[in-house]
Amino acid sequence: MKRALRTKSVGTKVSEAELRVLESRAAAAGLTLSEWVRDVLLASSVDTGTMAAERAILAEMLAMRAILLNVAVRATPWLTGSGRLDRLLCRLGGNE
């Protein structure tokens, strides 16, 4: 499989000390500085996107849980008596 031709570049300025750190990390990984920086940048952008998606899914799940609990409390008055709601919350939260 032929690798895509790289024709674009991304640049930044670093201090001498920062350059030494980057070169050291690249050498430790057995890569050239250019290869290491490319790998780090691309991995970072994927991780950030994945984490954002996971946070959005978690937020939606928590919102749905809150809606269902509110409906359950209003629809079944007996649920709030004798600690039933506390037991339900513990079961839903996996705290049993």
Instruction: Report the C-alpha gap between 88 and 80 in whole angstroms.
Output: 10
Q: Say if residue 81's pLDDT is above 70.
A: no
Amino acid at residue number 94: G
Cβ neighbours for 80, distance < 8 A, ≥ 6 positions apart: 73
pTM: 0.47
Structure-block tokens of residue 15: 């201090």
Q: What is the pLDDT of residue 88?
A: 75
Q: Is the pLDDT of residue 96 over 60?
A: no
In angstroms, the first-to-last Cα distance of the chain is 53
DSSP characters over 32-88: -HHHHHHHHHHHHHHHHHHHHHHHHHHHHHHHHHHHHHHHHHHH-GGGGSTTHHHHH
7-47 per-position pLDDT tens digit:
888 889 999 999 999 999 999 999 999 999 999 888 876 65
pLDDT of residue 93: 73
Longest dimension (CA), the chain: 69
* Residue 73: pLDDT over 80: no
What percent of the chain stands above pLDDT 70?
A: 83
